[in-house]
Amino acid sequence: MPKIQDKLKIIMDDPYLNDLRDDFQGYSNQLKKLKKKLLKTKSPESQAKIIKQIDSIANKMENNQKQSVKVTKSRIKELKSKSKK
């Protein structure tokens, strides 16, 4: 019978979860760049535009995390049902 760690490794190597993780990392990098840009700009109009972009990326990150949780739970459920057979 496989160990729980082995099962978790299978879940962590899931291609879809890897894509979600990569997307999240990309969003994080975008936020870092926008933060630097926001700190450098003096124009209130530019600041407002950057803040909107940051908000949009934050929403994408939140949705990404929700999707990751759903997929992870689903994968765990699949593994549990397979191990009972």
Q: Which two tokens stand for residue 30?
A: 């975008």
Residue 29 to residue 59: CA distance in whole angstroms: 15
pLDDT of residue 5 exceeding 90, the answer is no
Q: Which two tokens stand for residue 60?
A: 């994408």
pLDDT at 21: 93
pLDDT at 77: 87
Q: Where are the domains of the chain?
A: 4-84
pLDDT of residue 18 exceeding 80, the answer is yes
pLDDT at 1: 45
Q: What is the tens place of the pLDDT at every residue in 25-82?
A: 999 999 999 999 999 999 999 999 999 999 999 999 999 999 999 998 998 888 888 7
Residue 77 to residue 71: CA distance in whole angstroms: 10
pLDDT at 26: 97
